[in-house]
Every structure is written in structure tokens, then in C-alpha cells.
Structure 1
Amino acid sequence: MKKLWVLILIIIATAVGFVYFSPMFEKEPPKIEIDSNGFTNLKFPLKLNISDNSGIKDYTVTLVADGNARVLIKNSGDLGKNISIDIKLPKVAAKEVKLIVDAVDTSKWHFFAGNEAKKEVVLKVDTTAPDAQIVNNSYAIGNGGSAAVVVKVADDNLKDAYILVNNKYRFKLTPFYKKNYYAALIAWPVEEKTFDANLVAVDFAGNKSIAHIPLYWKKYRYPTKKIYITDNYIKNKAMTVLKRMNIDVPNDPVEIFKKENEYVRKLNEEEIFNLTHKVYEDKINSFSIARFNPLPGSAKEAGFGEKRHYIYKGKDISFAIHKGIDLAKIKRAKIYSSNFGKVVAAKWIGIYGNTLIVYHKLGLYSLYAHTSEFKVKVGDNVRRGQVIARTGATGGVLGDHLHFGIYIQGIAVNPLEWLDRNWIRTNIINVINSSKRLIGK
């Protein structure tokens, strides 16, 4: 009799163990994921994902609006371990709806009923696109040039607003003067043959507004120039830059120069973009900038936008577009700050050598390259007329000069515009500051 009871206990323990540990009786409920930020415009479907290791037996999607429940989807059967569907919401007048998802798996747990999961999300209904208007802008923009824009963007659920140039260059808006108004400097990248700019505003429900910025085109003619490369340059400059950057030096002179001019230049321009693409201020009420004159009494040796073909022993071996102007005076000439600003970089940047970058608000930066000496450091606030550096021949150059650049949110623009006080006043300062009259008090 005792042996019989032992056998019965073993059988019971085995059965309990089987139920408890068998995959057939797994105890984890299905996992429900709804891709939602709490808003809907009733146009775009919601992504629903249901997963379970044992498989899904049935699920139901119910919409509750103004206290009325409506089943949107109901499925049952052998539905697999993963379900991914788009939930199309019906048109409703309610300002808020609730979405309820119930799912049951194929487990034999709970007396063969399976594990159940339930998830609810509340969605604010917003079917109105943001109010996006162009308040004021520069009359024209040149290829490789700059412009100013003031806009209005209003929406209770605004997610993002920006200016998009040629559908790929994004410019941040800075809050300006009064609520819902913004200002920005924008650029026409010199590599782009055409120009198109739009104000884009998107709310959390996915509604989008686009307003075209009516800027006329002004064509600048940038020359094509041949630059003759010598063995002296390759040995004393190109190789030096590669070694300092811990980049393998090829054996062939042509490959050495190409690696410096193409690969290193790309790395350097990416670094400069990262140093000059930010807009730091939270709001502006006005904008003032004087003409830039970093090297008074200097001669211009090379211009912005030059299409440079590099020639070695009679062969065209490489190409680049010059992203600044070269100014020369005397060796180690004093470089002056023309405007108030803050130093954001003072470092060696490959072919640009010792490079100083100053921020002047509204995404505007000035760059001073090939310098021999810095007179300021990162974090310093500079004033007009202050000596900030001295010219030199550091980086990928042989002669002492200043490479001067202007950048707007990471994009190099024609510095000649910013050397012209009349252009600055007409195209930038007046556009931004006179917008106050259009906005009103």
C-alpha cells in the first residue's frame, strides 16, 4: 500500500512538473506594442505589433469615441507568433479617442484558456495643419550666397518647424520677437546648381504645412582655376598632413596628393560642419552685424567658389571647390575680429591648419585658417577690433596668408557678401529688424 502511495505521488509530481515546465503551458502573456505618440489626425494608420512565443490565438482591436465602442478588427485561429498590422482609424467627431487591444495566446495555461494581454492608448485627435506663413525675406539669393527669412508658425501641438533648401539642407528657426514668430539665415550651397526653399511645419498628429519662400535667383560666376602641384608641396605639405592625421601615406605622389585633397578635405569639411551647424540662442529680438574685415589692407589672392583643377606634371589629377577667400598681407599679420562673438574652435584641422572659428548668433560663423598663432581660446567672448590670431602657412599651403570663411548652420557661403556693409544692411539686418513692423506690437 505504501508503494502505491509513493507511485501516486510520483505521478502527481511528474504531472505538476510537466504542466509547470512544459512550453505548452507557458505563462507569459502576449506582448502588445502600439506605435503612438498620443496624437492622431485619423489619416495615418497606427502600427500594431503583437508577439508571443507560444503563438497567438485571437486578438481584438476596439475604438472608443464619445463613450461608444466599435470593434475595428477581430481575428482568431492559428495566427502565428508575430502579428504586425496597420490600424486604420475611422473618421470621428470626438476630440479624443481610446484604442483597446486584447490578445490571447495558444498556451494551455489557465485551464487551457491561454494567457491574455490588454493594452489601451488614449489619442488626442488633431486634424488641423499648422499655420505656416512667410512674413518677410531677402529679395534674392545668389548661388553660394546667403539670405534672411522671418516666418510665422502656430500650432497647439507643434512638433517641428524648419526651412528646407533643395529638399536636403535643413535650417533651424530661432524664436523671434513675439510668440509664434521665427527668424533664420539660410544658404544656397555653392555645389547646388538650382535653389528652392520652403518653410516646413509638422505637428505631433502628423499634419504638415509647407510654404514656399519667394527668393529670386542671383547668379554669381565662379572661375575655373588650374593649381599646379609640385613635388616640393607633396613632400613637405601633403605628406606632413597625412602623417599628422595618422593616415597611411601612399607610395605614389599622385595618390598622396589625392588622399590629402579629397579624403582629408572631406574629413576636414565634416569636422567644420559639426563645429558650425548649431544655433545656440533660444530667442532673438533683433540682429546686428558689421561688415567683416579680418585683414585690413590685404590683397585677395583667391576667391570663394573657385573650381580648382589640380595639375601635376601636365595631368589633371584632382578637383575641389574653394570654400573661402584667401587674403595676404605680410607674414604673421594681425587678424582682427570684426564683430562680437564667441570662440567655438581653436584647433588644427588638417589642410586648414590652425583654425579659429567664432560664432556671431543666428547660426552665423566666421572661420580663420592657416594661422600661425591664436590670441584667443575656446569659450572667449571677442569684441570688435580685437586681435584674435596671426596669419601663417599651417596646413595644406606653402605661403603665409589667411583663408577666411563664413558659414551659416554648417554651410560655407560667399564671404564677399559679408564684406559689403550695404549688402548686409539691405539683405540681412533690414529684413529681420523691419519684420517687427509687419508683426506688430
Structure 2
Amino acid sequence: MRSPSVVVKLLSLPLLVVLAGCGGKPSIDVPASLTSIGQATPVSVVVHDKHGVSKVTATLEQNGAQYPAWQSSAATKDADSTFNFTVGAKTTPQLKEGKAKLIVEATSAGFGHGSARVEREVSVVTQPPTVSADSDQHYLYRGMADLATLNVTGSYTAAGVRVGEQVFRAWPMPGGKPGLFSLYAFAWNMPDGTSPVVFASNGAGNDVTTPLTVIFPKKEQPVYTQHQIQVTDQFMNKVLGELDPNGTGDPVARFVKINSEMRKANNKTLSDLRLKTADHWLFSQTFARQANSAAEATFADNRAYIYHGQKIDQQTHLGYDLAVTQHVGVEASNDGRVVWAAPLGIYGNCVVVDHGYGLQTIYGHMSRIDVHEGDMVKRSQVMGLSGMTGMAGGDHIHFAMQLDGVQIDPKEWWDPHWIQDHVARRVELPGFSVSAAAAAPAPRSHHAGHKRR
């Protein structure tokens, strides 16, 4: 027969096992983007602990001294808890400009109250940067581009031009000259009254702006055309067979989904290619137009899609449809580096060429691609053959241009005088000369039938 002490020990074992399972330490996630703090920098910390958290604290350490900065007001039972607070010189006036350390500690609500600690090196930046813009008058046209120069002093992590919610990066002036410049655009759908500003910001949450002197010539603003695209059964079947071969259900709904949702996703892919741009000019000449081409559609055409007499969709066409002959050689508009050479949804077989500083050209609906990502191409070099892949109803080249991910009207870049007045006059563009620019005529406008889609 077991003694009472043995029985007590045996009965206590399950309790010990349960208590042991209630221990452990929480884990703490501090955003990697937090590298600087200023007067009052917002911080968002996520603490993971299946038993909840009893306490979270934030401490600032500088030159061996520690300053309590924040403490959670109540415990939480959630397994994943987000804590938002601010730190900086406003609540910790002892901080000086320079290096510091943010220490975040969390204590588990479980048995044993295990704790965890994360330390993050930060820079204390209490003074915002200053930014000044050039004194030029900037003539802006909807859907088109311009260039501004700016100067920034103080500590900053980002600078450039901001137009509404669109941000265009600033780059060091070419040739080692002082200052920065930014190629920017006033998008085709930007609300009237939006004022472009130059800006500078830092990781401490400081953001300063100053306006550009901008003029919108009313009589010369573009007027975008309205078109009706007659969607035939043959075209719908072609699009569905190529872009949704395994789909089921209503063909019209599938077509509209491709035309809207796939279009949006494809444009996002194109926009993301801005991250692959070179930090220097890759061209020195005016952009060339596809030789002997007729423009069957132009930039920002508003298209209503009509199927059996009913409007089923409406989209904006952000490029030029250039037609020559069937399977014509697709020419690079200027020197650059290929950053995309693959199928891309509604654009079919697609090539994107980077020309530096966020400026890129797009070539869609090709029947064949003869270049690869990373290839350097020369102005007017043939990169493949035109076709009708993707959402195209006839053989042509979809030619488009984007600036820092925002699609723009290419026609200014076909004009050597515009490049001279708006770009080369303000920043160094080695080798560029108006007199040496090709004087090719603009693409012929041809809208009969609107067969290109």
C-alpha cells in the first residue's frame, strides 16, 4: 500500500504538467522600417503570446542613460496584440541628436510570467529637413510629364515631387552637380486643382513640402476621345480562350472580369517595374516612333464595350495602338535595358524597356519576343514582331510609356524641342542635341472601324 506522501506526489504531477505548459516567453515584432525617431514618432509593435500579455514597456537609451518612454495601460488575453504608441523628444526631452536605442519588453500573462526583450538601434532626428524648389514656371498638361529641380538640407530619407497621392522620386543631379531633380507627371485622371509640391521626409516622421510654380494652359489641354468597341462573339471567344481557358460560367461576366480586374493587376505589375529602373540616363536621343505606323488609338481613349447592342464595360486605354503591317518588326523607341520580356495578361506578349530615372516604354500584343530581361537595346532595334496576343482584335503594337509607375502620354518624348526645353535645359543629358534628333513625322491618326482593342 502506497504511503500518503507518495499519493500526494502522484496527484500533483498533472498539476505540474499543466503549470509547466503555461510558461514560455512572448515574441515581439518591431517594424524594420523604424530606423529614426523625431519629436513624436508613431510606433506599432506586435506581441505574440498564446496566453496573452500582462505588460509591455518601451524605453529609450542614449549615452548609457535610460528613459521610460511608454507602458501599456492594461493586460490583454489575445494571442496576437498590437500596441501603438509614440516616442521621441516631445515626451523624452533628454534626447539629443544622434544614436540611441529603443528597448521594448513584454511580459506573458501565462504561468511564470516569462518576458522577452527587443532592442533596436535608431537615430534621433529632432529637426525636420528643409526643401526648396526651382523658380521655373512649369507648364503642365494632363497625362503628361515635366521635370523639377530641388534642394534639400538636413537629414532626409525620401524626396521628390508629390502630385496628389502619387510620388515621384528625386535623384542626384547628373554629373556630380549639387541638388536633386525629379521627373514627374500630372496623371490623366488627376483631379482638377491638384497642386504638385516638392517634398522631403525622414524616418522620424518629419515631412516638409513647398509648392511648384505651375501653369495649366487651358486652351492646350488634351481632349480625350470617346470610342465604342463592338465586341463580337469571335473576339470574346478569342479573349476567353487565351486569357481564361479553364473558366466556366457566363462568358460576358468572364470577359468583363478580364477587362477590368486583370487589366488592373497587369497595370500594377507594370507599375512595380519602376523599382528596376537605372539611376542614370540610358538614352541620349529623342524617342523614336514606330516607323511608318498609323495610330489607330491614342492615349486615354475612353472606351465603351458594346456586345449585342448592350454596353457591358468601360475602360481607359493608356497608350497608342500603332499599326503598320502584319508581323512588323517592333522597334525600341530608345536606348535602354529590357526589364520585362514575357506574356502579361491583356497586353499579351509584352516587352518593357527602362531608360533610366523611372522612365520606361511598353510594347504589347507581340506575336514573338526576341529579347530577354537584362538585354541592352539600341534605339530602333527590332525586339520581336507585332501581333494580336492578349486583348487585341487585330495585328498592332500597343505602345505606352510610364514614369515612376504612372502611365503617361508618350507624344512629348517624340518631340526633341520638348525634351530640350523641359529636360535637357534643366539637367545634364549627355549627347542630346535638338539638331541631331530624328525628324520623323508623328504617327498618322486613323480611327476608322476602331478594330484595335
Superposition TM-score tier, normalisation by shorter sequence: 0.7 to 0.9
| Structure 2 unaligned spans of 5+ | 430-453
Aligned to 1:203: 202
1:325 offset after TM fit, Å? 1.6
Deviation per residue, 1:354-381 (Å, 9 max, x gap): 3332221121122223334444343322
Give the paired residue count: 417
SS at match of 1:388: strand
CA distance in 2, matches of 1:72, 1:40: 12
Aligned to 1:290: 286
**What TM-score do the two structures reach when normalised by structure 1?**
0.75
Aligned to 1:151: 150
SS at match of 2:289: coil
Of 257-266 and 14-23, more deviation after overlay is shown by 14-23
CA distance in 2, matches of 1:299, 1:221: 20
- Percent of matched pairs sharing the same residue: 25
| Aligned with residue 422 of structure 1, among 389, 412, 417 | 417
Aligned to 1:371: 366
1:413 offset after TM fit, Å? 0.9
Using a 3 Å threshold, how does the CA distance of structure 1 residues 230 and 150 change in structure 2: closer, same or farther? same
8 Å CA contact 2:105, 2:115 repeated in 1: yes
Using a 3 Å threshold, how does the CA distance of structure 1 residues 184 and 292 change in structure 2: closer, same or farther? farther
CA distance in 2, matches of 1:398, 1:58: 64
CA distance in 2, matches of 1:103, 1:270: 39
1:278 lines up with 2:275 in the alignment: yes
CA distance in 1, matches of 2:163, 2:65: 46
Deviation per residue, 1:16-64 (Å, 9 max, x gap): 8589556399665777777794643242365678888888888887766
Letter in 2 for 1:221: P
SS at match of 1:369: strand
Matches within 5 A, 1:246-257: 246-247=244-245, 248=247, 250-251=249-250, 254-255=252-253, 257=255
Aligned to 1:438: none
Letter in 2 for 1:23: L
CA distance in 2, matches of 1:75, 1:391: 63
Deviation per residue, 1:269-293 (Å, 9 max, x gap): 334334x433432x43797341322
CA distance in 2, matches of 1:138, 1:86: 43
1:264 offset after TM fit, Å? 4.0
Aligned to 2:126: 127
8 Å CA contact 1:343, 1:381 repeated in 2: yes
1:238 lines up with 2:240 in the alignment: no
Letter in 2 for 1:147: D
SS at match of 1:307: strand
1:115 offset after TM fit, Å? 6.6
1:340 lines up with 2:335 in the alignment: yes
Letter in 2 for 1:227: Q
Deviation per residue, 1:329-355 (Å, 9 max, x gap): 333334333421122333333443333
Using a 3 Å threshold, how does the CA distance of structure 1 residues 163 and 67 change in structure 2: closer, same or farther? same
Deviation per residue, 1:78-116 (Å, 9 max, x gap): 95668957466332264466677788788897xxxx777
CA distance in 2, matches of 1:312, 1:64: 68
| Structure 1 unaligned spans of 5+ | 435-441
Using a 3 Å threshold, how does the CA distance of structure 1 residues 15 and 416 change in structure 2: closer, same or farther? same
8 Å CA contact 1:375, 1:389 repeated in 2: yes
Deviation per residue, 1:105-144 (Å, 9 max, x gap): 88897xxxx7777777676432011233334777222111
8 Å CA contact 2:359, 2:403 repeated in 1: yes
Using a 3 Å threshold, how does the CA distance of structure 1 residues 29 and 429 change in structure 2: closer, same or farther? same
CA distance in 2, matches of 1:428, 1:311: 42
8 Å CA contact 2:349, 2:390 repeated in 1: yes
SS at match of 2:326: coil
